[in-house]
Chain A
Amino acid sequence: MVEFLSLPLSVLIFPGGLFALGLGLLIKGLDRKVAARLQRRVGPPLLQPFFDLIKLAGKDSLIPAEGHAGLFRWVPLAGPAAMALAAAMIPIAGVYRPSAGLGDLLVLFYLLAVPAVVLMLAGAASGSPFGAIGFSREMTMMIAYELPILLVLLSVAVAVGMAQGGAIALSLSDIVAYQQVHGPFIADPRMWPALLCFLFFLPATLGAMPFDSPEAETEILEGPLLDYSGPLLGVFKMMSALKLVVVLGLGITFFFPNGPDGILGLGVFAVKCAVLAILSVTVVRVSTGRMRIDQAFRFFLKLPLALGTTSLVIVLSGI
C-alpha cells in the first residue's frame, strides 16, 4: 500500500517530476548565467528558464499544415514522461532509494533513448526539411556515443559486481551502496578513463556544444524544434530539463554518490549536479565551436571509444 502511493509520488513530485524539473531548470539557468559571466556579460536571471517555460505555456500553438498533426502533437508527451520516470530511478545517497520495481540500469539506459527518439520523430513529423536534417543528425550522434557510454556503464556495473563476488551489479542502489562503503570511484584511478569518457558523453547526449549539430540554430534553425511553438515547445523544454538531471544524476551515481543524510544530502546532490554541469557543459560550450556532424561521429569513434574500451579492460582484468 505504501508502494502504491510512494511510486506515483516519486515520479510526479520527488525525485522525479516537479523536483527534477525544478532542479533541471535551475541548473539550466545557472549554465546560462555562468556562460554569460565567462563571456563577461551580465547574463539572464538565474530563474530565466522558469520564465521561459511559463511564457511558452501561454502562447498559441501552431501546427504545420504539411506535417502530421496527430504525431506532431502526441509524440512530445512521451519525452518528459519517460524522463520523469527515469529521474525517479536515480538514487540520492542518504535521501532517496528507488524502489526495485522501477527497474535497473538497463531500463534507465533505454529510457534515456526516448528523448532522442521523440526529437527524431517530432522532427520527421513536422514535415520540414530542417526537421529531417535534425532527425538525421540526432540519430548519427546517438550511434556515435552509444558504444562508449555502454562501455562506461558496463565498467561501473562490472567493477561493483566483481567486488561483490557476482558477475555484474545492474542495480543503481547497489552501485551507490558499494561506493558509500568503499569510497567513490572518482577517487579510484582505475575508473578515471570511464569518468573521462562520461564527460565526453554528457555534452553529446544533452545536445550542447561542440556536439549540438542536431539542434544547431544557426544552421538548421533548431532542427526538430523548428516548427514547434507555445506549450508543445514547452514540453520539449521540460524534457530537456528533466533529462539534464537524469544524465547528471547518472554520472553522480556512477562516480561520486557519497553524501550526508537528510536535507543536507539533497543539497549536496544538487551542488554536485551543478558542478558537473558547469564543468562538462558550460565551460566546454563557451570555449569551443560546433563540430560538423561527421567530425563529431568520427571523434566518438576515437578518443571516447578508446577510453571506454580501456576502462572495461582494466575492470575485467581486475588490476
Chain B
Amino acid sequence: MSVSILVAWFGAILLSVGAALFALYMRKVIFFFAFPIAAEFAFLLVGGGTLWAVPLIGEHSGLGTALSLSGLVFFLAGQILALRSGTLSRMLACGILAGMGEIVAVLGIATPTAIIGGGMQFLTLAMAQGLMFLGIGAAFFRLGRHRIDAWKGIGKMMPVTGLCLAIGALSIMGLPPFAGFFSKFMLIHACVAAGQWPIAALLLIGSLIAVLSYGRILRILFFEPYKGPAVAEAPLPILLAMEGLAVLVLGLGLFPNPIVDLVRPITDWAGATAGLPAVIPALAVSWPPSVQLALVGGLASFLIGRRHGELAGWVAFAFMLGAFAAVLGEGGRGDGLSFWFALLAAGMGALNLLYSVGYMRRGHAHGRYYLMFLTAIGGVLGLTAADNLVGFLLFWEIIGGWALYFLALHEETAEARREGGKYFLFSISGASVLFLGVAVLGSGSGGFAFADLARAAPDMPMPLLASGLVLMLAGFVMKMALPPLRVDYQMHPAAMPTPVAGFLSSVLLKCAPYGVLKISALMGGALLLDRLGGPGGIATPMYVLAVLAALTILYAGAKALVETGIKRLLTYATVCQLGYIMLGLSLGSALGVAGGLMHLVNHMLLKDILYLAVGVILAQIHVSDLDQLGGLGRRMPWTMGMMLFAGLSIAGLPPLNGFVSKWLIFQACLQSGHYLLGLAAMMGSLFTLAAILKLAYATFMGQPGPGLADIREAPASMLVPMGLLTAGGILVGLFPGLVLTPVAEIQQALGLEVVAASLAGPLPGPGGWSNLTLTVLMALFAVPVWLYTRLRDSRRKSRRIHLCGNDSYDLRQAQVKTGRLYDAPSAFIRSVLPSSPTGQEGAPHG
C-alpha cells in the first residue's frame, strides 16, 4: 500500500510542479492553480493520514514536509504577485492562489489539527473571496474600468459595496472579528503544535504581504478623493448576495464554533489514519457587556453620523458612559490590574469622546470616526476581560489592526496615507510576533485559557517557555515602539485626529506594559524569573527589556528635543515616557513595578492633556509645524495653563505628580544598583523638559503668526475633559496613595513583591517623602510673597516690552525659530543620531 501512496503523492507533486513551470512559461497565473488543486484533491482522495506512511524526517513526515514546502512557495509567490497586480480581479486571483498554497502548506503537516485548520481556512477564504468578487463585480458594473487606480474613493460613492469589500479584505488578512481570524489562528496553532515553527513564521510573513496589498485596497477605496461622475449603489440582487456573505463572515468571526463543527467530519475522515487526536482549542471568545455596549454604540453613531455629526458624538459619548458603568458592574475581571486598566480606559475613552464632539465640529466622516474610535476602546475593554490567549490576541488585533488604521487615515491627506500604511504594517508585524508567541505558549501548555497556562508554566520545558515568552515580549515591545528598530518607523503616525492620538498615546499603547505584566505574572511572576536567571537579580529577558527601555528614553527623548513637528514631538515624547513605564516594570522590584504602574496612570492623564491642548488649536486650523504657531496663550489661557501643568509634570518637575512616579522609578534603578539605567532615566527627563518647553514656547508664547487671528479658546465640551484630567493629575500628585494603594493590591494579586503604600502617608521606598508636605511647604513660602505683590496691585502698569526704544521691529520676525531654540544641543544630537528621513515636519530650519 505504501508504495502506491508514495507514487500517487509524487505524481501529484510532479504534475503540479510541471503545471507551475508551464504557467511561468505562459505567463498566465491561472495555470499555477494546477498545483494546489492537485495537491488538495490528492489529499482528499488518498487521505491525509497517508502522509505519515513513509519516510519520516525526524518527527515529521518527509512527504508532508515536501508538500508543505511547495505549498509555501506557492503561498509566497501568490502574495507577491497579488501585491504587484494592477487590477483588483487579478489581485484576488493571486490571493486565491496564495490562499490555496497556504492550505496545502498546512495540510502537509497532516495532523488532525492541521486538517481542521486547512478546512476552516478553505471555507472562510471561499466566503471572503466570494464576497470580494461580488463587490468587485458590482463596482466594475458601475464604473466599467479595471485599473485599480480608477477606483479611488469608490467606497464613498457605493458605501454598502465598499463596506462589503472592506469586510472581505479584513477577513482575508485574518483580522478579527471576522471569520478569517479564527482559521488563521487554527493554521498557526496547528503548525506550532506540530513543531513546524518555520512554516508558521513563513505564513505570518506571507500574511504581512497580504496586509500590504489589501491595506492598499482599503486605502484606495475609502481614503482617496473620488474624481469622476456620480455612480449609483450596486443593483439589489448583488447587494443582497453581498450582504448575506458579509453577515456570514462577520457572524462566523463572532461565533466561530459552527465552522469548526462543519469541518470536523472532514477531519475525522481524512485524518483517521493518523491516529492522532485533534486538538481544537476553545475558540469562543467572551464579549462582556461593556464591549458590546461600545460596539453597539459605535454602530449607532455610525448610522447617525451620516446625517448628524454632532449628535453621533453625543451618542458615542453616552454609550461610552454606559460602558464605563458596565465595567464597574462587571467586576469579575480576574484581577485588579485588568479591572483598573479597563476602568481607566473606559473613563479616558469617555473623556476623549466628549472632547471629540467639539473637535469634530469642522471634521468630516463623523460616523466612521466614532465607529472606529469606539471599536478601539471596546478592544481595550475586551482585552482586559479576556480569560484566554485567543481572546487576548483577538482584541489585541482589533485594537492595533484596522480600527487604528482607519483612524490613522481619517484625515485623507497624502501624509496620513503614507504614515498610516507604515503604521498598519508595523502594527500587524508586532501582532504577528505576538501571534507566534501565543501559539507557542498555548501549544506548550495544552490549552489557551489563562488557567491552563498558569498550571502548565512551572513544568514547561525551558526552551519552549523562554521562546514563547520572548516572542510575546517582542510583540509588546514592538507595540511600544521601543528600539532596536527605528522608532520613527514604528510609532503611531502624527496625522491621526488629535483625540485619537491622545487616546492611543495614553491608553492603547499602555496595553503593551499591561500585557507584559499580565503574562509574566500569569506564568509565575517571581518563580518564572528565578527559573530564567540573569544579571543583578533580574531575569535575562527582563534585563534586556530594561536596557531597551533606557535606550528608548534617551533616543526618543533626544528626538523629541530636536523635532519641530507638533504631533511628531508629542509622539516621540510618548515613546520616551513608555520607556519609563517599561523600565520600572522590567526591574520587577516592588518599587519598580509600583513606579512603572503609577507612571502609567500619570502618563495617561498628562499626555492626554497635552494632546487635547494641542488639539484645541488643530481643530481650528490645519498646521503641522511648530513655527506656524505662536502667541496663542493670551487667547486661550485655560488651555495654556493645563498644557503647562501637564508638560512640566510629565517632565518630572517637583512637586507635580509626574515627578512622584519618576522618583519611584529612579529609586528602583539606583537602589538595585543599575546606575546607568538610572542615569539614562534622569537625562531623559531633562530632554522631555526641553521638548515640552519648546512646545509651550512655540505654541503659546511669543507673538501670533499670520493666519492665527481667528483662533479662540476651546468650547466647554473640550475644556471640561481637559479640566477633569488636570484635576485628576493634581489629586494624584497630592495623594499618590490614591494610585499606589490599588497598585499594591495589584502586586499582591499578581504575586509580585508588594510596595508599602498608604493612602495619605509618605511615599514607599528609602527616604520616602510626602508630596503633600512638600507642596504645602512651598505654598507657605509662596503665599506671603504673592500677597505682597497683590497688595501692590495699584502700582502695576502695563508697558510695551523693551526693544531698546525701537518700535519698528516686527516681533514675529524677531521670534526665535523653534528649530534654532536649542541650537547647540540639537546640532550635537543630530550628529549622533541618524536623522529622520520622512516629511517636512521634521526638517531642520535654516
Q: Do chains A and B touch in the complex (CB under 8 A)?
A: yes
Binding site for B on A (CB under 8 A): 7-8, 11-12, 16-17, 57, 60-71, 73, 77-78, 80-82, 84-85, 88, 100-104, 106-107, 110-111, 113-114, 117, 120-121, 124-130, 132-133, 135-136, 139-140, 142-144, 146-147, 150-151, 154, 157-158, 167-168, 170-171, 221, 226-227, 230-232, 235, 238, 293-294, 297-298, 301, 312, 316
A123 to chain B, nearest CB (A): 9
Given A136-B821, A171-B766, A80-B781 contact (CB < 8 Å): yes
Complex contact A117–B814 (CB within 8 A): no
Supplied contacts A132-B702, A231-B789, 4 more A-B pairs, CB within 8 Å: A88-B777, A127-B631, A143-B687, A143-B822
Select which of B670, B686, B788, B801 is within 8 A of A168 by beta carbon: B670
Complex contact B801–A128 (CB within 8 A): yes
Once the chains are docked, how many angstroms separate the CA of A312 from the CA of B799?
Answer: 51
Complex contact B671–A167 (CB within 8 A): yes
Chain A residue numbers with a CB within 8 Å of B653 are: 110, 113-114, 117
User: What are 5 sample pairs from A and B whose C-beta atoms fall under 8 A apart?
Assistant: A127-B631, A132-B816, A135-B821, A150-B683, A170-B767
Complex contact A129–B697 (CB within 8 A): no
Once the chains are docked, how many angstroms separate the CA of A61 from the CA of B697?
Answer: 24
Complex contact B683–A107 (CB within 8 A): no
In the complex, B808 has a CB within 8 A of chain A: no
Complex contact B670–A77 (CB within 8 A): no
CB-CB nearest 3 A-B residue pairs: A103-B769, A104-B767, A297-B824
Once the chains are docked, how many angstroms separate the CA of A139 from the CA of B651?
Answer: 13
Q: Which single residue of chain B is at the shortest CB-CB distance from A105?
A: B767
Once the chains are docked, how many angstroms separate the CA of A232 from the CA of B799?
Answer: 15
Complex contact A80–B782 (CB within 8 A): yes
Complex contact A124–B701 (CB within 8 A): yes
Given A117-B689, A312-B675, A17-B781 contact (CB < 8 Å): yes
Chain B residue numbers with a CB within 8 Å of A144 are: 824-825
In the complex, B737 has a CB within 8 A of chain A: no
Q: Which of B648, B672, B801, B820 has the largest count of A CB atoms less than 10 A from its CB?
A: B801
Chain A residue numbers with a CB within 8 Å of B362 are: none
Chain A residue numbers with a CB within 8 Å of B690 are: 139, 142-143
In the complex, B361 has a CB within 8 A of chain A: no
A14 to chain B, nearest CB (A): 13
Once the chains are docked, how many angstroms separate the CA of A69 from the CA of B797?
Answer: 11
B227 to chain A, nearest CB (A): 46
Complex contact A11–B828 (CB within 8 A): no
Q: Which single residue of chain A is at the shortest CB-CB distance from B700?
A: A68
Complex contact A126–B696 (CB within 8 A): no
Q: Which single residue of chain A is at the shortest CB-CB distance from B693?
A: A120
In the complex, B654 has a CB within 8 A of chain A: yes
Complex contact B824–A61 (CB within 8 A): no
In the complex, B773 has a CB within 8 A of chain A: yes
Complex contact A127–B702 (CB within 8 A): yes
Q: Which single residue of chain B is at the shortest CB-CB distance from A71?
A: B633
In the complex, B56 has a CB within 8 A of chain A: no
Looking at chain B's contact residues, the main secondary structure is helix
Complex contact B816–A82 (CB within 8 A): no
Render B779-792 as a binary contact track against A, CB cut-off 8 A, 1 for contact. Answer: 11110011011001
Chain A residue numbers with a CB within 8 Å of B458 are: none
Once the chains are docked, how many angstroms separate the CA of A63 from the CA of B796?
Answer: 7
Once the chains are docked, how many angstroms separate the CA of A168 from the CA of B667?
Answer: 10
Once the chains are docked, how many angstroms separate the CA of A131 from the CA of B43?
Answer: 79
In the complex, B663 has a CB within 8 A of chain A: yes
Complex contact A117–B796 (CB within 8 A): no
Complex contact A62–B792 (CB within 8 A): no
Complex contact A140–B825 (CB within 8 A): yes
In the complex, B11 has a CB within 8 A of chain A: no
Complex contact B801–A65 (CB within 8 A): yes
Once the chains are docked, how many angstroms separate the CA of A106 from the CA of B789?
Answer: 32
In the complex, B50 has a CB within 8 A of chain A: no
Binding site for A on B (CB under 8 A): 631, 633-634, 637, 640-641, 644, 648, 652-654, 659, 663, 666-667, 670-673, 675, 678-679, 682-683, 686-687, 689-690, 693, 696-697, 700-703, 762, 766-770, 773-774, 777-782, 785-786, 788-789, 792, 795-804, 809, 811, 814-816, 820-825, 827-828
Looking at chain A's contact residues, the main secondary structure is helix
B696 to chain A, nearest CB (A): 7
Complex contact A170–B799 (CB within 8 A): no
Once the chains are docked, how many angstroms separate the CA of A250 from the CA of B700?
Answer: 36
Complex contact A127–B811 (CB within 8 A): yes
Complex contact B769–A63 (CB within 8 A): no
Q: Which single residue of chain B is at the shortest CB-CB distance from A127?
A: B801
Complex contact B811–A101 (CB within 8 A): no
Select which of A66, A81, A140 is within 8 A of B800 by beta carbon: A66
Complex contact A294–B633 (CB within 8 A): no
Select which of A101, A120, A231 is within 8 A of B792 by beta carbon: A231
Chain A residue numbers with a CB within 8 Å of B703 are: 66, 127
Chain A residue numbers with a CB within 8 Å of B767 are: 100, 103-104, 170-171
Once the chains are docked, how many angstroms separate the CA of A168 from the CA of B673?
Answer: 7
Once the chains are docked, how many angstroms separate the CA of A82 from the CA of B654?
Answer: 9
Once the chains are docked, how many angstroms separate the CA of A221 from the CA of B823?
Answer: 20
Once the chains are docked, how many angstroms separate the CA of A154 from the CA of B678?
Answer: 10
Complex contact B686–A146 (CB within 8 A): yes
Complex contact A102–B769 (CB within 8 A): yes
Once the chains are docked, how many angstroms separate the CA of A104 from the CA of B96?
Answer: 66
Once the chains are docked, how many angstroms separate the CA of A130 from the CA of B811?
Answer: 11
Given A66-B801, A107-B663, A316-B675, A129-B780 contact (CB < 8 Å): no
Q: Which single residue of chain A is at the shortest CB-CB distance from B809?
A: A129
Given A61-B797, A66-B800, A104-B769, A168-B671 contact (CB < 8 Å): yes
Q: Which of B693, B778, B828 has the largest count of A CB atoms less than 10 A from its CB?
A: B778
Chain B residue numbers with a CB within 8 Å of A132 are: 697, 701-702, 815-816, 821
Once the chains are docked, how many angstroms separate the CA of A111 from the CA of B786?
Answer: 20
Chain A residue numbers with a CB within 8 Å of B824 are: 140, 144, 293-294, 297-298
A6 to chain B, nearest CB (A): 11
Q: Which of B663, B673, B767 has the largest count of A CB atoms less than 10 A from its CB?
A: B767
Chain A residue numbers with a CB within 8 Å of B693 are: 117, 120-121, 124, 135, 139
Given A104-B769, A106-B667, A11-B780 contact (CB < 8 Å): yes
Once the chains are docked, how many angstroms separate the CA of A107 from the CA of B634?
Answer: 33
Complex contact A8–B780 (CB within 8 A): yes
Complex contact B778–A85 (CB within 8 A): yes
Select which of A7, A121, A167, A227 is within 8 A of B773 by beta carbon: A7
Once the chains are docked, how many angstroms separate the CA of A102 from the CA of B811?
Answer: 44
Select which of A80, A120, A227 is within 8 A of B801 by beta carbon: A227
Chain A residue numbers with a CB within 8 Å of B762 are: 101
Complex contact A82–B672 (CB within 8 A): no
Complex contact B781–A231 (CB within 8 A): no
Complex contact B822–A136 (CB within 8 A): yes
Given A158-B675, A231-B788, A232-B789, A67-B801 contact (CB < 8 Å): yes
Q: Which of B633, B634, B774 has the largest count of A CB atoms less than 10 A from its CB?
A: B774
Complex contact B780–A12 (CB within 8 A): yes
Chain B residue numbers with a CB within 8 Å of A106 are: 663, 666-667
Chain A residue numbers with a CB within 8 Å of B697 are: 124, 132, 135
Complex contact A62–B799 (CB within 8 A): yes
Q: Which single residue of chain B is at the shortest CB-CB distance from A298?
A: B824
Once the chains are docked, how many angstroms separate the CA of A101 from the CA of B654?
Answer: 14
Given A110-B652, A154-B675, A64-B781 contact (CB < 8 Å): no
B386 to chain A, nearest CB (A): 38
Complex contact B769–A100 (CB within 8 A): yes
Complex contact B822–A81 (CB within 8 A): no
Once the chains are docked, how many angstroms separate the CA of A193 from the CA of B241?
Answer: 81
Q: Which single residue of chain B is at the shortest CB-CB distance from A229?
A: B799
Chain A residue numbers with a CB within 8 Å of B825 are: 139-140, 143-144, 297
Given A61-B797, A103-B774, A147-B683, A114-B816 contact (CB < 8 Å): no
Chain B residue numbers with a CB within 8 Å of A124 are: 693, 696-697, 701-702
Complex contact A73–B789 (CB within 8 A): yes
Chain A residue numbers with a CB within 8 Å of B702 are: 124, 127, 132
Once the chains are docked, how many angstroms separate the CA of A135 from the CA of B801?
Answer: 16
Q: Which of B696, B701, B770 has the largest count of A CB atoms less than 10 A from its CB?
A: B701
